[in-house]
């Protein structure tokens, strides 16, 4: 089952105990044992969690479906993170992605008639406002690459309105 390790991940967060887990990283295309201190679990879909990665000592997103083994490891010290820092990380993320770049406001336009469908199918962090001829979508995020992929996926109906988004 895809979510079989979710209870252990939730226990790691609730008990503030380090999680030891085998994780498939899509960018590397490989699986490895990892340690992380879990701070938030989001049930999704897809289910994922934000944790301090013990390898890089930074906050990272992990997808539960990419975990193939998980257990609590009390031998490895839990690395706490400030609630405000985790909240800021979540706010700057988009659809479970977070880039190293600073968070900034981005926007794009979607023309009618596609705007009606897009307005009902935006990612959670996006907000739309009606404008003549369609909608303007605005969000603040550091995940510029994920946002650009979303906009490109809308085809000719979408047009970036901020220079950084257009460049990406």
pLDDT at 26: 73
Q: Is the pLDDT of residue 143 over 90?
A: no
For position 97, what pLDDT does the model report? 75
65 HSE (CA, 13 A, CB side): 7
pTM equals 0.73
* CA end-to-end distance (rounded Å), the chain: 37
Q: Looking at residues 43-70, what average pLDDT do you find? A: 90
- Asked if the model's pLDDT at residue 168 lies above 90, the reply is no
**Where does the pLDDT of residue 131 fall: very low under 50, low under 70, confident under 90, or very high at 90 and above?**
very high
Q: At residue 144, does pLDDT exceed 80?
A: yes
Alpha helix segments (H runs only) across the chain: 6-15, 83-92, 114-119, 144-153, 163-167
**Model pLDDT for residues 63-113, shown as the tens digit of each residue:** 899 999 999 999 999 999 999 999 888 888 877 777 777 788 999 999 999
Residue whose pair of structure tokens reads 């907000």 in the numeric block: 127
User: Pick from 155, 147, 144: which is nearest to 111 by CA?
Assistant: 155
The span from the CA of 40 to the CA of 51, in Å, is 7
Output the CA torsion sign for 58, 63, 68, 71: positive
């Amino acid at each position: 089952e895809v979510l079989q390790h979710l209870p252990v991940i939730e226990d790691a967060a609730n008990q503030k105990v380090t999680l030891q887990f085998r994780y498939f990283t899509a960018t590397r295309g490989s699986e490895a044992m990892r340690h992380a201190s879990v701070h938030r679990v989001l049930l999704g879909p897809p289910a994922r969690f934000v944790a301090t990665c013990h390898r890089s000592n930074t906050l990272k997103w992990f997808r539960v479906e990419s975990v193939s083994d998980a257990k609590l490891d009390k031998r490895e010290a839990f690395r706490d993170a400030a609630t405000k820092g985790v909240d800021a990380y979540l706010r700057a993320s988009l659809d479970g992605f977070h880039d190293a770049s600073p968070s900034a406001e981005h926007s794009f336009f979607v023309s009618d008639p596609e705007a009606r469908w897009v307005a009902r199918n935006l990612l959670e962090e996006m907000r739309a406002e009606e404008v003549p001829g369609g909608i303007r979508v605005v969000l603040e995020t550091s995940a510029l690459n994920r946002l650009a992929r979303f906009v490109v996926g809308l085809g000719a109906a979408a047009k970036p309105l901020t220079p950084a988004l257009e460049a990406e």
